[in-house]
Amino acid sequence: MYMQFFSPFTRRLPLRRAAVAAVAMTLAAACTGAFGQGRLIVGPAAAVPTAPTDSNPICANGTTWEEADIVTVHYPNEDVTLNVNRFDDALHVKITIGQEEREMIRMDNGLTAVRAKNDIGPRQFSGVDLLANSALHYLQQAFKTPCAASTAHHFSLDVQDGPKSEASTVHLEGDMHLAGEALGYGMVVTEREGRANATILKTFGSWDFADLGDIPEDTPIAGWHVYRNGNPVAVEGTDVTAVEDLKKLAASH
């Protein structure tokens, strides 16, 4: 299973570094016109001892990977960072490519607010599915459930990746650490066949299973563009400066 924020076609897309780079380039095109490299200097957090399984909320609740409400994924080689917060009444997405940022808040009431250098509407965030699932694909290869991952520290294993008729052997190596209901990870995926030991994907971040509730009404959106079901809404000269105003705007129509 994969996480689905936008597109139902995610699982049919390639889930390797080339695909991540392609999505990053597409997202960056409207933002910068170029694909930035080398600006993000970050690394995976060190593994720390985990709590016993009987006091581990992830295991106690039978949590699945798809239930994460806070997802952070970094792809340092592609200079891409994804942050997703899934509230009860909204989806908040932030994508950083090089030094450019774009951000979106999609409310359950049909309104969406977008912040981007060259805004082309909510559709520019459709690549979020692939950016999240490229990491999740390999985490699920190593650990079927978050509970299994939460009791691990370092992992190193070979797995068969891809459809049976085209499967290849890849090596997964990385670290996991548990803090409350958040699982931090760092992982490198390398090819075992063909281009021997070539890096397919390098990624690190966290999957947090804490319940966020509703999005805070004071979340700032001053200067953002607003859309209703994908169509622009004129808000210039109005007092739409926070999520609370989006709720009022939806109630007035």
Record the pTM: 0.78
Quote the pLDDT of residue 253. Answer: 67
Cα dihedral sign, 58-62-64-70 = negative
Which residue, 128, 163, 121, is CA-closest to 10? 128
Which contacts (CB < 8 Å, 24+ apart) does range 183-192 have?
183/58, 183/146, 183/149, 183/150, 183/207, 183/208, 183/209, 184/44, 184/45, 185/44, 185/135, 185/139, 185/149, 186/43, 186/44, 186/45, 187/44, 187/135, 187/138, 187/139, 187/142, 189/138, 192/158, 192/168
Query: Does 180 have pLDDT greater than 90?
Result: no
Q: Record the tokens describing residue 76, joined without a space.
A: 């340092």
Digit-coded pLDDT (tens) for 188-213: 999 876 656 688 889 999 999 989 99
Span 171-198, mean pLDDT?
85
**Residue 81 pLDDT grade (very low, low, confident, very high; cuts 50, 70, 90):** very high
Q: Record the tokens describing residue 82, joined without a space.
A: 């994804």
CA–CA gap between residue 202 and residue 191 (Å, rounded): 12
Quote the pLDDT of residue 194. Answer: 61
Instruction: Give the range among 31-35, 79-83, 192-196 with minimum mean pLDDT.
Output: 31-35
**Residue 231 pLDDT grade (very low, low, confident, very high; cuts 50, 70, 90):** confident
In single-letter form, the type of residue at position 202 comes to K
Q: How far is CA 94 from CA 2, 67, 114, 121, in A?
A: 19, 19, 10, 14
Span 234-247, mean pLDDT?
80
Which residue, 172, 203, 192, 174, is CA-closest to 47? 174
- Cβ-count burial of 73 within 10 angstroms (0-12 exposed, 13-18 middle, 19+ buried)? buried
Percent of the chain having pLDDT more than 70? 73
Digit-coded pLDDT (tens) for 98-128: 888 999 999 998 899 999 887 677 877 877 7
Quote the pLDDT of residue 217. Answer: 95
Digit-coded pLDDT (tens) for 53-72: 456 788 877 788 888 999 99
CA–CA gap between residue 196 and residue 7 (Å, rounded): 33
Higher pLDDT, 193 or 227: 227
Q: What is the dihedral of CA 49, 53, 56, 59, to 10 degrees?
A: 130
CA–CA gap between residue 194 and residue 59 (Å, rounded): 38
The average confidence (pLDDT) of the chain is 76
CA–CA gap between residue 82 and residue 40 (Å, rounded): 12
The total number of residues shown for the chain amounts to: 253
